Structure 1
Amino acid sequence: MFAAPASVDVIGQLTRYLDLAGVLACAILGGAVARTERLDLFGFLVVGIVSGLGGGIIRDTLLQHGTPVALTDYAYVPTAVLGAVIAFVISISEHAWNRLFVALDAAVIGFWAVSGSQKTLAAGLGWLPAVLLGITTAVGGGAVRDVLLRRVPTVFGGNGLYATVAAVAAGTMVVCSYAGTPVIGVVLGVVCALILRLASVLFGWGLPTGLDWQPHSRLTALMQRRKRRRGAGRPDPPDDS
C-alpha cells in the first residue's frame, strides 16, 4: 500500500537523515534567536536543543510508539548541540542572519513535515494523523522555543506561510506514500516546502488575521454614540429607554 518491502529500510534511513538535518537546521535557528536575545553560551545550548528536538519529541510522544527517538538515538542530542555551537561561534551581520534564517526555516519545514508524516504512516496510522503530526513535527520545536523566550510563536502569524507550508509538504508525502512512491514524496515534499515558504516571504503571502467585526445592536450603537460625544466634549443626551 505504501512502500515495497525492499524499500522500507531505505525510506527509514532517509527519514532518519531528514530528521537529523531538521535537528541541525532548527538548532542553528534557535541559536540565531538566542543571539538576538543576547544570551550566553548556556542559553544558546538550551534554546538550540529545545528548538532542534522539541518537535520530534512531541511527535514521538503523541505516537506512543516507544521512547522518543531523540532519547534512544545518540546522534540527536550531539547534532542539536552542534547546531547551537555553530550559531554561537559564527558572527555575521543581522541581514545575513535573516537571509540564512529564512532558508533554514524553509528547509526545516520540509524535512520535518515529511519525516513526521512518514513516521506516522509507518506506525500504522491513517492519512489525517500523518498530516497533523507532520505539521506538529515541523512547528513544535519552534513554538516551544518561542514560548520559552516569552515570544509569540512564529506559527501563530505575523510572517509568511508556516504551518500551511508544513501541511502541503506532509500532504504531498502522504499522497505519494499511498500511491506507492514514498521516495518521490520525500523529494516533492521538501521541494514544495522550500518553494512555497520562500515565495511566501518574498511576496508577503500570509493567512488572513482576525476580521475587524463588531456586533450590531441597539446597545452597541448607543455606547459608540456616547463615546463619540464624550470625545467631542458634549454631554450625553437623556436616555429614552
Structure 2
Amino acid sequence: MADTFGVHSALTELDVTEAFRVVDLAGVLCNGILGASIARQRRFDIVGFVVLGVASGLAGGVLRDVMLNTRPVAITDPAYLFTALAGALVALIFAIDGRRWRWPLLVIDALALGCWAATGTIKAQLAGLGLLSSLFLGVITAVGGGMVRDLCLGQVPAVLGGSTLLATPAAAASLAVLLTPAPARPTWGMAIGIVVGSGISLSSRRLGWALPTADPDAGVHLSRQQLRALMRRSERAGARRAGHVVPRHDRDDDVDS
C-alpha cells in the first residue's frame, strides 16, 4: 500500500512538472512569434528575426530564474531555445501582419502574459517565497520579455504606460494563483491564473482600458492680467505690514480683476 501511494505521489509530481513545462513553453512560443512578427513589420533581416524572437521569448523566464538565483532554464533545457526559434521561424515563413492577424496576435499576446504570470508565481512559491514576492515575480516574468523586446527596438517599454493594461492583468493572474488553495496551485491555480490574466488583457484591448496617466498640462494657469493683479496684491500686503498707506486706485484694481 505504501509503495502504491509512493508511486501515485511520484506520478502526480511528474504530471505537475510536465504541465508547468508545457505552459512555460507555450509562453515562450507565443512571445517568440510576437517578437519576430515585429521584426517582419520593421523589415529586419534574419538576424533581427532571431534576436527579437529569442529575446521576446526567453527574457521573461531568464529574469525570473536569475532573480531566484537559479540557472536559467532557457540555458539548461534546449527545448526553450528551440521553441523560441520555432516562434521566430513561424513569423519568418508566414506574414503575420495586417488587419486579419490583429486579433490572433492579441490573443497570442494575452495567452503568453497569462501563462508566464502563472508559471512565474508558481516557481516563486516552489522556491519558498512569500505571497508579495511571488506576485512581484509573476508580473516580472510576464512583462519581462516585452520590456527587453521594446528596449531592443529603441523604444520606451509599453508596460511603463501609454497603452492598454499589461502589468495589471499579470498581477491579477498572479493573485488568482495565490488565492487558490496551496495544494491546487500548480494545477487548478495555474489554469485559473491563465484564464484570468488572458481575459483581462483581451478585455482591456477590446474596451480600451488603461490606467490614468499624469496630465503634463495640469496645474494652475493665470492670465497676464491675473498675474499682474496678484503681484499688486502682494506688494500692497507688504506695504501694509510696513505701515504704508495703499493708494485708492490700487484697491480699486482688486475689484476690476
1:32/1:97 contact within 8 Å kept: no
- Deviation of 1:8 after TM superposition, in Å, equals 3.4
Q: State the identity as a percent.
A: 39
Q: Distance in 2 between matches of 1:206 and 1:11?
A: 35
Q: Secondary structure at the match of 1:125?
A: coil
Larger RCO of the pair (alpha carbons < 8 Å, separation 6+): 1
Residue 67 of structure 1 corresponds to 71
Equivalent residues of 2:24, 2:115 under 8 A apart: yes
Structure 2, unaligned runs of 5 or more: 1-7, 236-257
| Number of the residue aligned with 2:33 | 28
Contact map agreement 1:27 1:49 (CA 8 A) in 2 = yes
The aligned residue for residue 133 of structure 1 is 137
6, 15, 18: which one aligns with 1:10: 15
Give the whole-Å Cα distance in 2 for the aligned partners of 1:214 and 1:67: 47
Q: C-alpha offsets along residues 3-43 of structure 1, whole Å, 9 cap, x if unaligned?
A: x9654332222111111000000000001111121111110
Q: Which residue number in structure 2 is paired with residue 195 of structure 1?
A: 199
The aligned runs of 1:38-53 (5 Å cut-off) are 38-53=43-58
| Residue 181 (1) aligns with residue 184 (2) | yes
Change (3 A) 1:93 1:214: closer
Structure-2 separation of matches of 1:93 and 1:78: 23
Contact between 1:26 and 1:108, CA under 8 Å: does it hold in 2?
A: yes
Distance 1:43 1:212, change over 3 A: closer
CA pair 29-118 structure 1, distance change in 2 beyond 3 A: same
Instruction: Note the C-alpha offset of 1:212.
Output: 5.0
SS of corresponding position for 1:187: helix
**Inter-partner Cα distance in structure 1 for 2:84 and 2:76:** 14
Out of 27, 37, 44, the residue aligned to residue 42 of structure 2 is 37
Contact 1:159 1:201 (C-alpha < 8 Å) held by counterparts: no
Is 1:206 aligned with 2:204?
no
Farther-moved stretch of structure 1 (71-80 vs 32-41): 32-41
State how far apart, in whole Å, the 2-side matches of 1:227 and 1:80 are. Answer: 63
Instruction: Classify the secondary structure of the residue corresponding to 2:75.
Output: helix
Structure 1 partner of 2:100: 96
Query: Aligned equivalents of 1:5 and 1:171: distance in 2?
Result: 27
In the alignment of these two chains, the number of paired residues is 224
Structure 1, 69-78 or 158-167: larger mean CA deviation: 158-167
Unpaired runs of 5+ in structure 1?
230-235
Residues 1:177 and 1:59: Cα distance change in structure 2 (over 3 Å): farther
The offset of 1:91, in angstroms, is 1.3
Q: CA deviation at 1:211?
A: 3.8
Q: Deviations over 1:39-66 (max 9, x none)?
A: 11110000000000000000100011x2
RMSD of aligned residue pairs (Cα, Å): 2.4
Q: How does 1:128-167 map to 2 (within 5 A)?
A: 128-167=132-171
Larger radius of gyration: 2
Moved more, 32-41 or 133-142: 32-41
Compared with structure 1, are the counterparts of its residues 156 and 11 closer, same or farther at alpha carbon in structure 2 (3 Å cutoff)?
A: same
Q: Secondary structure at the match of 1:152?
A: coil
CA distance in 2, matches of 1:18, 1:52: 13
Paired with 2:148 and 2:125, the residues of 1 have a C-alpha distance of: 25
Name the aligned partner's letter for residue 223 of structure 2.
R
Q: Per-residue deviation at 1:196?
A: 1.2
